[in-house]
Amino acid sequence: MGAQGQRLAVIGAGVAGCALVARLRQLGWPGPITLWEIGRGPGGRTASRRSRHDADLRFDHGAPLLNLAVAEPPLLLDSLLAAGALAPFEDPVALLQGETQQLLAGCHDPLVQGRLLIAPDGMDRLCAAMLQMADEGVTARFGQLVRHLQPRPQGGWLLQDADGALLGEADWLVVSSTLPAHPRSRLVLGWDEAPLRRAAAALGDARLNHALERIAAIRTEPRSNLLVVCDAAAAAAWAALPFRLLEFDAAARQRFGLSRLRILPLGDGRCTLVAHSSTVFATEHLSVYGSRSAVALLQTLPPREVEEAEVIQRLAAMVCDALEPWLTPAMVASLRRSDNRQLMRWGAAFPLPPGLPPDLMLCGLSRLAFCGDYVSGPGFGRVEGAWRSAERLAAELIDAAGVRGA
């Protein structure tokens, strides 16, 4: 059957989902595409937190940059560079040594190796630019949680909300997040079973069952992120530090409980800070989401104000301890003010290898496919891996759906 008129649903509007739909349109996928995303906008790993009441405020609270460690560039890269959606990352990077508490210029962390790029107007603009490349052929449904996935008797999928109401139908389904397939959805969202696990039982697709087994075995590292707004007086002192991105070596992570600090100057003289915790700290506080998270808002989870305040206070104190030799009183005060701090819990920040083998990305019998940073290959566990897996899957979907002359 040709792909003319076939409907595609993509769950997840991170780099993988957005790169997939952009590349599919380039290759000639003619049917309607719907993108489903639990968050309030595109971004995923490259998400930015903004304010409806403060146009200048921005936190790049996920990946602060994109690094391409493989020499051959992704296929969409030139178009994104030409559009100004990406530019070289030129901010100074440093490494904090835990044993000596000294700063070293540069860093050997895999997350900052190779070609470094940034979306100048916010990391979420990368995904927004990819969606623009897909033109008008994509319908985005933000702030929408797909709770149930049901195979259709004639092939394809039904997407339903928490009450079982129909959200949409699709002839092909792509999952760019592990959440619908991974057991962690029971912990994160309180579900009795991952939606795809239940659906697969009715399909009898050995390839899909194998893929789900491999996904279920993927372990991830969480992060608890502290978000701080600094006024102009404190921002000047933060900007005077010899780095805008600080990585922590293994000893520093153990000693201070932090893994990364990003300083982002804003156009009005302020700056924002994003401090990423260590895996150990985040694991100890995994149940504390942050009251402004998409999961908490959509699931109408009860507020945990005391626990949230305690985690925020601890993270702020850890930043003060780690940077004590370089902090001024104004900088310390900016970290201690309770009215300018937020918490963002990143439950699956980094997947751990081996990941999903690329030859299991596409399950043609079930008309189901996977892409994301959890797929093994170049860039695994990073933005680059999500992007490259999507471009590879786009070509495979074109072949599987029977598109010709693309």
The DSSP code sequence of 108-165 is --GGG-SEEEE-TT-THHHHHHHHHHTGGGEEEEET----EEEE-TTSSEEEE-TT--
* Cross-strand partners of 273: 228, 263
Q: Is the pLDDT of residue 254 over 70?
A: yes
Identify the CA nearest to 321 among candidates 236, 254, 224, 266: 254
% of the chain residues with pLDDT over 90: 83
Residue range 203-216: average pLDDT? Answer: 96
Distance (Å, rounded) from C-alpha 226 to C-alpha 313?
9
> What pLDDT, in 10s, does the model give residues 278-336?
999 999 998 898 776 666 555 556 667 899 999 999 999 999 999 999 999 999 999 99
Residue ranges of the domains in the chain? Answer: 8-47+126-218+352-401, 88-113+220-350
* Cβ pair 5, 170 in contact under 8 A: no
**Cβ-based burial of 305 (10 A; exposed 0-12, middle 13-18, buried ≥19):** exposed
Alpha carbon separation from 341 to 133, 242, 287, 333, 347 (Å, rounded): 35, 24, 19, 12, 19
pLDDT of residue 406: 44
> What pLDDT, in 10s, does the model give residues 20-42?
999 999 999 999 999 999 988 99
More confident residue, 253 or 5: 253
Q: Is the pLDDT of residue 48 over 60?
A: yes
Q: Is the pLDDT of residue 266 over 50?
A: yes
pLDDT of residue 390: 98
% of the chain residues with pLDDT over 70: 95
Q: How confident is the model at residue 110 (pLDDT cuts 50, 70, 90)?
A: confident
pLDDT of residue 293: 65
CATH tag for 88-113+220-350 (out of 1.10.3210, 2.60.40, 3.30.450, 3.90.660): 3.90.660
* Cross-strand partners of 151: 157
* Cβ pair 17, 24 in contact under 8 A: no
* Cβ pair 180, 146 in contact under 8 A: yes
Distance (Å, rounded) from C-alpha 126 to C-alpha 25?
17
pLDDT of residue 186: 77
Residue range 199-226: average pLDDT? Answer: 95
Place of tokens 């982002």: 264
Element (H, E) at 48: none
Element (H, E) at 276: strand 271-277
pLDDT of residue 82: 97
pLDDT of residue 313: 97
* Cβ pair 184, 242 in contact under 8 A: no
Classify 188 as helix, strand or coil: helix
Identify the CA nearest to 143 among candidates 116, 167, 174: 167
pLDDT of residue 302: 65
Q: Read off the pTM.
A: 0.94
pLDDT of residue 136: 77
Mean pLDDT of the chain: 93
* Cβ pair 253, 278 in contact under 8 A: yes
Other CB atoms closer than 10 Å to residue 1's CB: what's the count?
9
pLDDT of residue 365: 96
pLDDT of residue 405: 46
> What pLDDT, in 10s, does the model give residues 360-390?
999 999 999 999 999 999 999 999 999 999 9
pLDDT of residue 135: 80
pLDDT of residue 297: 55
CATH homologous superfamily for 8-47+126-218+352-401?
Answer: FAD/NAD(P)-binding domain (3.50.50.60)
Q: How confident is the model at residue 184 (pLDDT cuts 50, 70, 90)?
A: confident
Classify 365 as helix, strand or coil: helix
> What pLDDT, in 10s, does the model give residues 118-142?
999 999 999 999 999 998 789 999 9
Q: Is the pLDDT of residue 161 over 60?
A: yes
Residue range 200-221: average pLDDT? Answer: 95
